[in-house]
Amino acid sequence: MLDMEISIGTVILNPEFPKVVDQEIEANILVLEDDRDIRQMLSALLESEGFRVSCAADGVTGMAAISPETDLLILDIEMPFKSGFEVLKELRQTNALPVLILSSRSGGEDRVSGLNLGADDYLVKPFIPEELIARVRALLRRVPGSKTALVPTKGLNFNDDIGRAYLDGEPLELTRREYDLLHVLTGAPGRNFSRDELLERVWGLDSEVTTRQVDLVVSKIRSKLKKKGRTDLIRSVWGVGYRLDVD
């Protein structure tokens, strides 16, 4: 981890915090942060971990900077011209890019608003650098495969650049959670996924939802697949969870 001087109030330095294991994850990260000092610190921290980093200081410039090569977005809420919430709302209309909100707003209402708008994670300033890196790596691991479409499996295909799933060439209207869960199952057809693993992969380590939410999302996906005439894709595995059927 990079050894740097960081202003008090932005980052908590904790030498006893467990070190992040290098996962050899290469990624392009876009940081949207209006505070120059924090922006520079985040850039240096992420680059020290091997990530490629670009930055923007306002929401309008940030939206323009998002490209198919962007793997993850770190997003502040309070920014000029266009707030982080506005950026997120606009982004989610066309893009499933993983988003980590990094904000000084610690209230539950802001957390709920961010997550409901489609953020994948929410970290409050001041933060521990190792925790930020761990959360970044977790988000990058969450959905398997590259940003390009997966090889079609059982007629399913994905375009991560626009966050759209297809069945037999026809678009599926899925929510973000439905998209991510189906993406996870499709990434390893025939493999049994436990509810706990799906919960971690789709909602994250800090999620307060229960495995019941996994069942509800699977039920909604099945309902949408059934409308397309397909009832043979997601199988329940008694006492375990679910798998994408390959028979």
d(CA 133, CA 45): 9
The single-letter code of the amino acid at 6 is I
Q: How many CA atoms within 13 Å lie on the side-chain side of 56?
A: 23
Give the pLDDT of residue 24. 56
Query: Within the chain, which residues score under 70 in pLDDT?
Result: 1-25, 142-153, 161-162, 205-207, 247
Q: Which residues contact 19 (CB under 8 A, 6 or more apart)?
A: 1, 130
CATH number attached to the domain at 28-140 = 3.40.50.2300
pTM above 0.75, yes or no: no
Return residue ranges of the chain for CATH 1.10.10.10.
156-244
Return residue ranges of the chain for CATH 3.40.50.2300.
28-140
pLDDT digits (tens, 9 = 90+) for 200-218: 888 876 667 788 899 999 9
The two beta strands, 28-32 and 170-172, are unpaired
Annotation: CATH topology of 156-244: Arc Repressor Mutant, subunit A (1.10.10)
pLDDT digits (tens, 9 = 90+) for 25-55: 678 999 999 898 999 999 999 999 889 999 9
Helix (H) or strand (E) holding 193: strand 193-194
